[in-house]
Every structure is written in C-alpha cells, then in structure tokens.
C-alpha cells in the first residue's frame, strides 16, 4: 500500500527479519526510486500538460527549462552542479535506447537525498512519538525545499494550462518536491495519523488510513499476531 511520498521516501530505510536495510545506498537506487515515484521530471521535449499525465502525482512533475539553465541559480551544493551539467551535456539526446534510469544522479545528489530521507524519517518518528522534531532535521527539510526555485507558466493553447519550470537539475527538483510534500504532510491533517509501525523489528512509518489500521502492512500484523501467540503458548508451557 502506498504511503504519502515523504513517508515512502522515509521508508527506504526498512528492516528484513529485524535487520535494518538501506534501500538508498547507490546513485542507481536513488534513480530507481525517483523513477518509480514519478519524480524524474519532464524534459524539454515533453511539451505541455505537465502534471496532468496519467499516473502522475499532482504537482510533483517539473519540466526543466534548459534554455535558461544557469549554474548560479538553485545550486543544491557547491561542486554538484558542474558534474551533473557535464554528465547531462555528454548524455545522448532523446529517449534512452536501453532501460537505463531516466534521470542522472550524481554522488552529491545521493548525499543530499540521504540527508533529506534521514531528516524526514526523524521528523516522522518524532511526530509518531508525539514529541517535537529536532531543529537540525527541520532545517534540512527547509534547506532542500528552498534550494530549487520553481515557477509556473501560463499557456493558452490548445487549452489553458500551466507548465512548471525550474533552473535546477531533475534530481534537485525531485528532492525539493519531496521536501515540499513533507512540509505539507507535517503541517496537514495527516500528521495526526502518522504512526511508527509497532511490528516486531519493523522500522517503517505509515499514515493510518482507517481507525482499525495498526500495522504498516498485513505482513507485520501477521508477524505480530504470531509473536503474541508464541509468547502466550510459551507462558502456558511454563506454568
């Protein structure tokens, strides 16, 4: 079951049989996550109708206006722009012939993404525990949210529609979108339903979409019931 985007991002830290696993350790894994979550952006050739495509998350896609690319604007961090621009300019134009990720991810992008993931996860955990998050985590979300200036442009043909533009790289734009949606989540009504899964060894968070929901997944519910059953029968054996 899909959680809100920031929680899906936080849940890239998960556990298998109680052992923590990190699903965001390589640039390829980040590219894959961004692709699976519809955050690869829209290139100059994709035309109007941004954000209205089938399966697109509302407001989550952005077209990069490469004609106005300015390395001085929206740079996520020193040193990252140059390498990503170089990599972009050396990439072949048009659709990739293979099933390579549709987004270029640098090592610095991965660092930023992990920073954001850990901050969102820490804030989600604090919210679930009913305590205030740390300033450092709030600052990280804010820094990444404001790192990518975006604007909408009005078009009147073939019908009135808006396109979203940015000077930043697709990854910077995507991370800024996640940060922005995290701000919306943590300040919206869903905050009250944010939970840390109490499943044995589980480290995931979820937004409770029904009052009866206790677990991140049916699997966690089954494991918890099995553990309770085991504990009960063990206690009986020791009577």
Query: Who contacts 231 (Cβ-Cβ below 8 Å, separation ≥6)?
Result: none
DSSP track, 63-116: EE-GGG--TTSS-SSTTHHHHHHHHHHHSPSSS-SS---SS---HHHHHHHHHH
Which residues of the shown chain bind Zn ion in the complex (CB under 5 A)? Answer: 197, 199, 202, 204, 216, 220
Tokens encoding 161: 């529609």
Q: Rank residues 179 and 202 by Cβ distance to Zn ion and give the closer one.
A: 202
Residue 211 CB, nearest distance to Zn ion (Å)? Answer: 18
β-bridge partners, 151: 165
Query: Who contacts 101 (Cβ-Cβ below 8 Å, separation ≥6)?
Result: 28, 31, 32, 34, 35, 40
Residue 154 CB, nearest distance to Zn ion (Å)? Answer: 44
At 164, phi and psi to the nearest 5? -100, 135
Tokens encoding 209: 């979409």
Residues 177-203: b if buried by 16+ CB within 10 A, e if exposed: bbbbbbbebbeeebeeebbbbebeebb
Q: Rank residues 112 and 195 by Cβ distance to Zn ion and give the closer one.
A: 195
Q: Rank residues 38 and 221 by Cβ distance to Zn ion and give the closer one.
A: 221
Residue 198 CB, nearest distance to Zn ion (Å)? Answer: 8
Residue 232 CB, nearest distance to Zn ion (Å)? Answer: 21
Q: Rank residues 123 and 197 by Cβ distance to Zn ion and give the closer one.
A: 197
Residue 204 CB, nearest distance to Zn ion (Å)? Answer: 5
Residue 224 CB, nearest distance to Zn ion (Å)? Answer: 8
Q: Rank residues 11 and 147 by Cβ distance to Zn ion and give the closer one.
A: 11
Q: Rank residues 141 and 220 by Cβ distance to Zn ion and give the closer one.
A: 220
């Amino acid at each position: 079951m899909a959680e809100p985007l920031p929680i899906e991002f936080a849940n890239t830290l998960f556990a298998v049989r109680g052992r923590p696993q990190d699903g965001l350790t390589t640039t390829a894994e980040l590219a894959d996550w961004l692709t699976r979550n519809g955050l690869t952006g829209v290139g100059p050739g994709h035309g109007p109708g941004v954000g209205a495509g089938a399966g697109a998350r509302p407001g989550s896609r952005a077209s990069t206006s490469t004609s106005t690319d300015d390395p001085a604007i929206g740079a996520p961090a020193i040193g990252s722009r140059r390498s990503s621009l170089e990599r972009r300019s050396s990439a072949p134009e048009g659709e990739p012939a293979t099933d390579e990720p549709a987004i270029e991810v640098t090592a610095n992008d991965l660092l930023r993404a992990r920073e954001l993931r850990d901050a969102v996860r820490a804030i989600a955990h604090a919210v679930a525990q009913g305590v205030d998050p740390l300033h450092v985590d709030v600052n990280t979300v804010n820094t990444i949210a404001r790192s990518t200036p975006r604007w909408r442009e009005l078009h009147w043909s073939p019908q009135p529609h808006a396109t979203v533009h940015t000077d930043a790289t697709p990854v910077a734009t995507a991370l800024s979108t996640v940060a922005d949606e995290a701000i919306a989540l943590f300040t919206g009504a869903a905050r009250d339903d944010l939970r840390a899964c109490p499943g044995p060894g589980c480290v995931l968070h979820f937004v409770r979409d029904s009052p009866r929901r206790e677990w991140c997944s049916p699997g966690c519910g089954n494991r918890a019931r099995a553990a309770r059953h085991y504990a009960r029968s063990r206690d009986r054996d020791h009577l």
